[in-house]
Amino acid sequence: MLLTRRAFALSAAALAAAPALAQPRGRPVVIAHRGASGERPEHTLMAYRLAVAQGCDFIEPDLVPTRDGHLVARHENEIGGTTDVASRPEFAARKATKTIDGEPVTGWFTEDFTLAELKTLRARERLPQLRPASARFDGQETIPTFQEVVDLAKAESRRTGRTIGVYPEMKHPAYFRGLGLPLEGRVADALKANGLDSPTAAVFVQCFEVEPLKRFGELSRARRVMLVSDGPAPVDVKTPEGLKAIAAFAEGLGPEWPLVVPVVDGALGVPTPLVRDAHAAGLAVHPWTVRAENHFLPASLRRAGGPAGHGDATAVLKALYAAGVDGVFSDFPGLAVQAR
- Please report, for the domain that includes residue 180, its CATH number: 3.20.20.190
75 is catalytic: yes
Predicted local confidence at residue 233, as pLDDT: 84
Rounded CA-CA distance 115/71 in Å is 9
H-assigned helices in the chain: 5-16, 45-53, 115-118, 132-135, 146-160, 173-178, 184-193, 210-217, 240-247, 274-280, 313-322, 333-339
Q: For residue 90, is it within any domain?
A: no
The answer to whether 315 and 291 have CB atoms below 8 angstroms apart is no
Measure the CA–CA gap between 186 and 179, rounded to whole angstroms. Answer: 14
pLDDT at residue number 10? 43
d(CA 253, CA 278) in angstroms, rounded, equals 8
Q: How many domains does the chain have?
A: 1
pTM for this prediction: 0.93
Give residue 22's pLDDT: 34
With respect to residue 109, please indicate whether it lies within any of the assigned structural domains: no
The answer to whether position 85 is within a domain reads no
Nearest alpha-carbon partner for 331 in 43, 139, 72, 138: 43
**DSSP string across 186-215:** HHHHHHHHTT--STTSSBEEEES-HHHHHH
Nearest residue to 224 (alpha-carbon basis) of 201, 198, 250? 250
The boundaries of the domain holding residue 175 are 5-74+135-339
Which amino acid, 41?
A: P
Instruction: Pick the catalytic residue from 43, 75, 172, 279.
Output: 75
pLDDT at 13: 54
- Could you tell me which residues come within 8 angstroms of residue 23 by beta carbon, excluding any fewer than 6 positions away? none
Q: Are 168 and 63 in contact (CB under 8 A)?
A: yes
| Predicted pLDDT at 45 | 98
Residues 47, 41 contacting (CB under 8 angstroms): yes
Q: Does a structural domain hold residue 22?
A: yes
Q: Residue 299 to residues 67, 218, 267, 308: CA-CA distances in angstroms?
A: 43, 44, 7, 14
Question: Considering only CA atoms, which of 206, 187, 160 is closest in space to residue 34?
Answer: 206
295 included as an active-site residue: no
As a whole number of angstroms, the distance between CA 277 and CA 239 comes to 8
In a domain, 49, yes or no: yes
Rounded Cα–Cα distance for residues 303 and 88 (Å) = 39
Residue 146 lies in a domain: yes
CA 208 to chain centroid, in Å, comes to 12
* 178 found inside a domain: yes
pLDDT of residue 26: 80
Question: 91 lies in a domain?
Answer: no
Among candidate residues 33, 43, 279, 286, the one labeled active-site is 33
Residues of the chain with pLDDT under 50: 1-11, 17-24
